[in-house]
Amino acid sequence: MSSGTSGGESPGKEPSGKASSTTSTDKQKEKARVSRTSLILWHAHQNDAGAVRKLLEEDRSLVHARDYDNRTPLHVASLHGWIDVAKCLLDFGADVNAQDRWKNTPLADAEGAKKHTMIELLKSYGGLSFGQTGSHFEPKPVPPPLPNKCDWEIDPSELDFSNSNIIGKGSFGEILKASWRGTPVAIKRILPSLSDDRLVIQDFRHEVNLLVKLRHPNIVQFLGAVTEKKPLMLITEYLRGGDLHQYLKEKGALHPSTAINFALDIARGMAYLHNEPNVIIHRDLKPRNVLLVNSSADHLKVGDFGLSKLIKVQNSHDVYKMTGETGSYRYMAPEVFKHRKYDKKVDVFSFAMILYEMLEGEPPFSNFEPYEAAKYVAEGQRPNFRSKSYLPELRDLTVKCWAADMNQRPSFLDILKRLEKIKENVPADHHWNIFNT
């Protein structure tokens, strides 16, 4: 540790003739000082502004603490972008232009890590850039291995629309089957007239940023996007089997073993999305957004994340006030329709409606318009079970998943366990091979 931490540490006076006792006290004080230096650096690293403040109130000199590389707590906070910690340190007089052993200032670290809010904050306090930005990562600066935009930005010239056809439409634009470097892909293309609409661009970027993070066999795979040129486009894998809506329209009620296997695929994808602490609420789970990998329908994937919400869960019981009436009315949870606070269990409700449709062969409340159906559900009504193929356990699971009280609905991990158990007792009607594409 450097002398930057030594302020305010002079030992108290000892009675004469007790030199050895003084030496021992000095050692203890030095140990305590080193320990507090480590503590403030650790709390700065952990983004614990409260603990940093408490240490500084006890000993203001700790604001100048340094580690073996001469890095101060402000260097640490700047690299990670921890704004509250940085503000606290600056309030206690941190040197905004302290240099570490590579001659880097906190601002140089913030610039190296592209922490834009931190860069603004440090500049407002007179922060300057010295040294090699980010050089403490490597002997010479190299970009950190983050998923850079260049990894997924696609040049529109690589997309071949010569044999393209429209496979879906929406208010934002259309979804086309086209070709990318010789491979069939699905392309969500924003209407040119909307390509300058600030909210449309914001939603588009939100969806891209979400998809970049997703990797799962039961989630439609994002391949890239066109964000530098117009029209804006989002490219995903193309699934030959079409969507579950069309499949059910053609096939009607499914055999229980098929319905269970379909439900397992959907639940696996959803359990992955709902994994804490970074929970993704789909908010528009419906048969049109469940895709079949191929015509033999032996593998499903959840897609279309245009309305999804990524939220950081501090507490597993957190609920959120989000925009009401998001998604499709027929599969919508009552709390969304009523503009109440809701959480990830809205997806469990939609899953119950899909399970019902797979076993009944028709959408829930098919004799009502979608809005009327949602209103009916919000008033406490649920569809009637008519199908003979309903197993008592499946019926029980469906009822639990569409409970009016969202806290009574099981999680997707629980749903998976129940479905696996039910599957053990059902005779299969055909060979099921999950990865046979």
* Domains by residue range for the chain, with CATH: 3-124 (1.25.40.20), 152-237 (3.30.200.20), 244-424 (1.10.510.10)
For the beta carbon of residue 17, count every other beta carbon within 10 angstroms: 7
- 144 Rama class: left (phi>0) / alpha (psi -120 to 50) / beta: beta
Distance of CA 328 to the CA centre of its chain: 22
The CA distance from 287 to 249, in Å, is 10
Helix (H) / strand (E) element for 185: namely strand 183-190
Tokens of 67: 């580690």
100, 284, 298, 304: the catalytic one is: 284
C-alpha angle 65-118-208 in degrees, rounded to nearest 5: 135
pLDDT per residue over 157-203, tens digit each? Answer: 999 999 999 988 766 788 899 999 999 999 989 887 777 777 778 77
108 CB-side CA count, 13 A: 21
The Cα 368–Cα 351 span in angstroms is: 19
For 49-69, write each residue's pLDDT tens digit: 999 999 999 999 999 999 877
* Closest C-alpha to 118, from 99, 132, 131, 105: 105
Catalytic status, residue 347: no
- The tokens for 423 are 């599957």
- The identity of residue 234, as a single letter, is L
For the chain, residues with pLDDT lower than 50 are 1-20, 133-146, 313, 316-326, 430-437
Amino acid occupying residue 434: I
For residue 16, what pLDDT is reported?
44
Which residues contribute to the annotated binding site for ATP? 188
Q: Are 293 and 300 in contact (CB under 8 A)?
A: yes
Q: Which two tokens stand for residue 227?
A: 């964000």
* Residue 385 token pair: 């079970």
